[in-house]
Amino acid sequence: MKARHTRIYGLILLNFWLGIRSYGQNTKPDFGSPVNIPILLAGNFCEIRPNHFHSGIDIRTNGKEGLPIFSIGNGYVSRIKVSPTGFGRVIYINHPEGYTSVYAHLSSFNSPIDAYVDSIQKSTESYDMEVFPDAKQFPVTKGDTIAFSGNSGSSASPHLHFEIRDLKSEEPLNPLAFLNYVDNKPPTIKNIRIVYKNDKNIYKVLSDLYFSDDYDDLSVIQGVDYGEYFFELMGTDNSEDALMNFYSITVYTNSGDTLFFNQFDRFNFDETRMVNSFINYSTLVNDKEEWLRLYKLPGNSSSIFKNCISKPLIVSEETDTIFFKVTDYNANSTTVKVFVHGTEINKTEEKTDDLVCRFYNESFSFPFKYGFVNIPANGIDNSFCYSLTDYDTIPDTTTFLIGDPSVPLLKNAVVVIQKKLNNNFWLCERNNKNELTGTSYKLDSAKYGYQTIIKKMGWYSLEQDSVAPQLIKILSEYDPIIPKQKNTLLKISDDISGVKKANVFINNKFVPCEFDLKNSIVIIKGICFNKTDNIDLLLIDYQGNSNKLAHIKIN
Ligand SMILES: [Zn+2]
C-alpha cells in the first residue's frame, strides 16, 4: 500500500481554495455516511495487518459490489488512482474543514470521473493511473455519488475501505470519530502472559494464562522470581464477528500504578512497519500467534506510542494484583484481574556467549552465504544476536538465510551480493516451506557485485528471470454487478519478477481492461467486444520479458 505522496503542484490551488473558506481543523465537521446502509465493520482503525497498521475502517457492503458510495462532505476530488494491487480503484476527497476522505477497492467511479480515467488509461496505454485534479475539476457536495463499491486491488472480498486523514500531514485518523457507528459488544481478552528481559535485552516468556468467556476464574501466576516483568496480551475487539484492534489498553496495579497505557488515534504512514514492534514478531513468525506487547521496546519510536506509558512490574515477596483493561471506540470495555506471586528462585543463566549482539540504535553489518547485509541505525526495535561463522542454508537447495527471520526490520536493509551473476538475477523471498512467496527484489550493479534493499530478514534464493509471463487459460464468468453480462477472464502467470503490464488490444486499439493481480486475471468485460473482433494480449514482467499473444480465441 503506497499511501503517502508529496504533491507540490496541487498546493498553490489548495491554499487558495482553503483561503477563500478560511477555516481550520478545529471544529468537528458534520460529515455524512459514505454508504446508505447501516455501518457494519469488517476491520477497524489500527488493526494489526502484515507489516502495517490498518489505516482506516472496512465497511461491509453485504458481500456485494456496486453499492453507491457518497462523499461524506463538501469538497473536491483531489486524487484518483487505479492499480492492480493495494487500494485498486481509489478516490480521495479534500474537505475545507482540513480533512481528506479516502474510498478504496471501488468497482467504478461516477460517469464523469470514469470517462476521465478511461481517457487517461487510453492515452497512456496503461491500466495503472494516478492523477491529482485541482479544486475546480471535480467539486463535490456532501451526499454526491462519487463511485460504486467493489473488490479491486488487494481486497479479499467486497467491502469499502474508508479513511479520514488530516489534510495537512496526511496522517490517518480514527474514522469512527466522525461517523455514527453503533457498537454494544465489549472487546475480548483471551490470554495474558508474563515476560522478562534476559542479559541480552531479549524478552522471554515465563508463563501464560488463558481466560474463558466469563472471566470468572481466579487467575494466578505463580513461581515468579523477584525482579522486573512485563506482560503480553491476546484478544480482539468484537463487532459482527470481525477480529479487530482495541481502541485503548491499560495495565494497572491495585495500588493505582499504571504499568501500561496506549490509545490508537492517529499515526504516520512512515511508521506503519512499527506494527511489528507492537506485536511479538517472533511469536507471530514461529507460532502464528498475535500477542500484543504491553510494553514499549526501546526502538519503537512510532508516534502511535507517543503518549504511551510503559513500566515494568517489580515482583517481590508480596502478591501483586494486576488489572488489564481494554476498550473499543464506543467505550465498551473488558477488565481482567491477575495475581502475581513472587518467589525467590536461583536462575540458571542462558548461554549466549558465541553470538555477536547489536543494539537497535547502532548501524551494523553481518554476513550471509553470498555477501553481507547493512542494517541502518534504528532498523531494528531491540537487540539482535547473530553468529559470524554459520551461514544457514537448506540442504540440496539454493536457499540461504539472511539474518534472523524472527527479528523485524523497521527500516529497509541493504543486501550486498559478492558473486558473479547475469543481470537478470532477482533476490527472491522464500517461506519456511522453501516456496517462493512472490516478493522479489531486482539486483543493481554495485561496487562489490550487486545490491538491493530488503524489507525483512529470512530465507532467500537467487533466481534468473528469462521467461515472459504466460496466458494460462481463458474462462468466462457473469459480471458481479451487471446481471446476465458475461465477462472473459484471462488467467495469467509469471515465474519470478511478476506481471507489470497486461494490456488488451481489440482490433489493434488498447482497451483498459480490469487487471486483478491478486487473482492473476485480466477481465475483458462483455460490453467491450463482439465475437468477430480481433483480440491481442501483451504481457510484460518487471524484468522486461514480454509475450505478445495475437488473435486470442474467446468463446
Ligand atoms: Zn481496509
CATH architecture group of domain 470-549: Sandwich (2.60)
Average pLDDT score over the chain: 88
Yes or no: say if 325 and 250 are a contact pair by the CB < 8 Å rule: yes
Q: What is the dihedral of CA 296, 299, 301, 307, to 10 degrees?
A: 20
- Which pLDDT value is given to residue 484? 87
Question: How far is 276 from 291, CA to CA, in rounded Å?
Answer: 11
Q: Mapping DSSP to helix (H, G, I), strand (E, B) and coil, where does residue 345 land? A: coil
Average pLDDT over residues 329-334: 92
3-state secondary structure of 413: strand
The class of domain 188-342 in CATH terms is mainly beta
Report the share of the chain in percent with pLDDT over 90.
60
Q: Is 378 a residue whose pLDDT tops 70?
A: yes
User: Measured in angstroms, how far is the CA atom of residue 35 from the centroid of ligand 1?
Assistant: 15
Helix (H) or strand (E) holding 470: strand 470-478
- State residue 216's pLDDT score: 58
From ligand 1's centre to the CA of 161, what distance in Å? 4
Assess whether pLDDT exceeds 60 at residue 44: yes
pLDDT at 8: 35
Output the CA 539–ligand 1 centroid distance in Å.
29
pLDDT at 128: 95
Per-residue model confidence (pLDDT) at position 353: 64
Query: In this predicted structure, what is the pLDDT of residue 11?
Result: 38
C-alpha–C-alpha distance, residues 111 and 485, integer Å: 19
Which backbone phi and psi does 26 adopt, to 5 degrees? -90, -45
pLDDT of residue 147: 98
- Residue 444: phi and psi, rounded to 5, are -105, 145
Over the stretch 346-374, which tens digit does the pLDDT of each residue have? 666 666 667 788 889 999 998 888 999 99
Distance (angstroms) between ligand 1 centre and the Cα of 58 equals 5
Give the pLDDT of residue 262.
95
67: cell is 453499492
pLDDT per residue over 171-204, tens digit each?
Answer: 999 999 999 998 888 998 888 999 998 877 788 8
Interval between CA 373 and ligand 1 midpoint (Å): 33
Cα(245) to ligand 1 centroid in Å equals: 13
- CB atoms under 10 Å from CB of 40, counted, come to 19
Query: Do residues 203 and 230 touch, judged by C-beta distance below 8 A?
Result: yes
Nearest to 47 by CA among 238, 261, 250: 238
Q: Tell me, in angstroms, the distance from the centre of ligand 1 to residue 47's CA.
A: 9
Residue 5, pLDDT above cutoff 80: no
According to CATH, where is 2.70.50 located in the chain? 188-342
C-alpha 368 to ligand 1 mean position (Å)? 37
Instruction: List Cα–Cα distances, 515 to 36, 518, 519, 529, in angstroms.
Output: 28, 9, 9, 17
Check whether 9 has a pLDDT greater than 90. no
Burial class, 333, CB count within 10 angstroms (exposed 0-12 / middle 13-18 / buried 19+): middle
Indicate if the pLDDT at residue 553 is higher than 90. no
CA of 79 to the centre of ligand 1 (A): 18
pTM: 0.88
pLDDT band at 22 (very low <50, low <70, confident <90, very high): very low
Instruction: Return the C-alpha cell found at 314.
Output: 517489580
- Mean local confidence (pLDDT), 517-522: 92
Which range has highest mean pLDDT (63-77, 189-203, 271-285)?
A: 63-77
Retrieve residue 189's grid coordinates: 481478552
Spacing, Cα 482 to ligand 1 middle (Å): 25
C-alpha radius of gyration, the chain, whole number:
26
Asked whether residue 239 carries a pLDDT value surpassing 50, the answer given is: yes
Return the pLDDT at 208. Answer: 75
Going by their DSSP bridges, the two strands 145-149 and 68-70 should be labelled as antiparallel
394 has a pLDDT exceeding 90: no
Predicted confidence band at 241 (pLDDT cuts at 50, 70, 90)? Answer: low
> For residue 102, how far is its CA from the centre of ligand 1 (angstroms)?
11
| Whether the Cβ atoms of residue 540 and residue 469 lie closer than 8 Å to each other | yes
* CATH topology assigned to domain 11-177: Glucose Permease (Domain IIA) (2.70.70)
Ligand 1 center to residue 162 CA distance, Å?
Answer: 7
Distance 43 CA to ligand 1 centre (A): 7
- Give pLDDT, residue 483: 85
Asked if pLDDT for residue 388 goes beyond 60, the answer is yes
* pLDDT 10s digits, 117-131: 999 999 999 999 999
Other Cβ atoms less than 10 A from the Cβ of 483: the count is 7
Asked if residue 229 has pLDDT above 50, the reply is yes
Q: Distance from the CA of 239 to the center of ligand 1, in angstroms?
A: 15
pLDDT reported for residue 12: 38
pLDDT at 225 over 90: no
Q: What is the pLDDT of residue 433?
A: 87
pLDDT band at residue 345 using 50, 70 and 90 as cut-offs: confident
Ligand 1 mean position, distance from CA 271 (Å): 17
Cα→Cα distances 435→299, 429, 460, Å: 31, 8, 10
Residue 104 has pLDDT above 80, yes or no: yes
Distance (Å) from CA 275 to ligand 1 centroid: 16
Question: Taking residues 291-319, what's their average pLDDT?
Answer: 90
| pLDDT band, residue 27 (cuts 50/70/90) | low
Q: Which of 381, 383, 377 is nearest to 352 (CA)?
A: 383
Tell me the C-alpha distance between 385 and 377, whole Å.
Answer: 15
What average pLDDT does this structure show over 37-58? 92
Is 211's pLDDT higher than 80? no
Residue 328 CA to ligand 1 centre (angstroms) = 18
Single-letter amino acid, residue 164: I
Residue 24 has pLDDT above 60, yes or no: no
Q: DSSP label at 152?
A: -
DSSP 273: G
Q: 53 alpha carbon to ligand 1 midpoint, in Å? A: 10
For residue 259, what pLDDT is reported?
A: 96
CA-to-CA distance for 93 and 102, rounded, in angstroms?
A: 7
Confidence of residue 301 (pLDDT cuts 50, 70, 90): confident
Q: Is the pLDDT of residue 85 over 90?
A: yes
Q: How many whole angstroms from 38 Cα to the centroid of ligand 1?
A: 17
Confidence of residue 448 (pLDDT cuts 50, 70, 90): confident
Compute the average pLDDT of residues 260-284: 93
Segment 494-506, tens digit of pLDDT: 989 999 999 999 9
User: pLDDT at residue 146 above 70?
Assistant: yes
Residue 220: per-residue pLDDT = 78
| Cα atoms in the Cβ-side hemisphere of radius 13 Å centred on 122 | 10
Are the C-beta atoms of 117 and 109 separated by less than 8 Å? yes
pLDDT(240) > 80: no
